[in-house]
């Protein structure tokens, strides 16, 4: 029998650098998605959907939508995870707005196809980094992680089901073609998580 390697605990500086990298990648991905007029899954996708319909900044909606899930996080994942997730959500909300400033990326007009593909790749890899440093972006991420740890359901597949509901809801504000493109992009994100975030695959803690 092959002996499993013992987990190597992340140092404080590794966690800080990892979380920073994760939120930068996710925020850049969400900025691309919003610039292309497409949505994704999770509470980020729900916040994007609401931002198209309401005169409220994405960052404000993103924080508001995630608030109810923090009770679940506190009881299901502990306060360390909850605090890290709260900081990650706040950072993503802020950085998504920063990317759109004239001195940064400014106003972009990517095609919906490119925005959905590249935006979800960036967001998926960023989420993977956050998960591996004991954080998340709240909402569906918390539900998926708890179900994976308690019952063995892969987080990526759980998110895929929940994300489908969000993407289908975007028919209320988007064309059918945009919804199809958004669904393809959300599938890319969840495949990244399903293939790379499995129990026992990563030994860091």
Residue 205 — very low, low, confident or very high, per pLDDT cuts 50/70/90?
Answer: low
CB-side exposure of 176: number of CA atoms within 13 Å?
0
How far lies 51's CA from each of 25, 56, 143, in Å? 20, 6, 23
- Per residue in 136-177, pLDDT (tens digit) is 877 776 777 778 877 777 776 777 777 778 778 877 777 888
* Backbone torsions φ then ψ of 204, nearest 5 degrees: -70, 155
Q: What is the DSSP string of 105-132?
A: T-S----HHHHHHHHHHHHHHHHHHHHH
Neighbour tally for 109: CB within 10 Å: 8
- Per residue in 15-72, pLDDT (tens digit) is 899 999 999 999 999 999 989 988 877 777 788 888 888 888 888 888 888 887 777 7
Range with the poorest average pLDDT among 6-15, 28-37, 185-194: 6-15
| DSSP classification of residue 3 | P
């Amino acid at each position: 029998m092959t002996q499993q390697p013992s987990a190597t605990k992340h140092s404080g500086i590794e966690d800080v650098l990892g979380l920073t990298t994760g939120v930068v990648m996710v925020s850049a991905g969400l900025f691309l998605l919003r610039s292309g007029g497409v949505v994704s899954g999770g509470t980020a996708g729900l916040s994007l959907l609401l931002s198209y319909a309401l005169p409220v900044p994405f960052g404000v909606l993103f924080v508001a939508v995630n608030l109810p899930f923090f009770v679940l996080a506190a009881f299901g994942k502990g306060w360390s995870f909850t605090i890290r997730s709260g900081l990650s959500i706040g950072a993503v909300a802020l950085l998504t707005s920063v990317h759109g400033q004239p001195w940064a990326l400014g106003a972009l007009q990517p095609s919906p196809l490119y925005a959905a593909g590249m935006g979800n790749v960036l967001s998926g890899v960023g989420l993977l980094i956050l998960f591996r440093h004991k954080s998340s972006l709240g909402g569906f991420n918390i539900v998926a992680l708890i179900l994976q740890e308690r019952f063995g359901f892969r987080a990526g597949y759980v998110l895929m089901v929940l994300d489908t509901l969000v993407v289908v809801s975007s028919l209320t504000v988007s064309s059918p073609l945009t919804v199809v493109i958004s669904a393809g992009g959300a599938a890319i994100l969840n495949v990244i998580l399903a293939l790379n975030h499995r129990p026992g695959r990563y030994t860091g803690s």
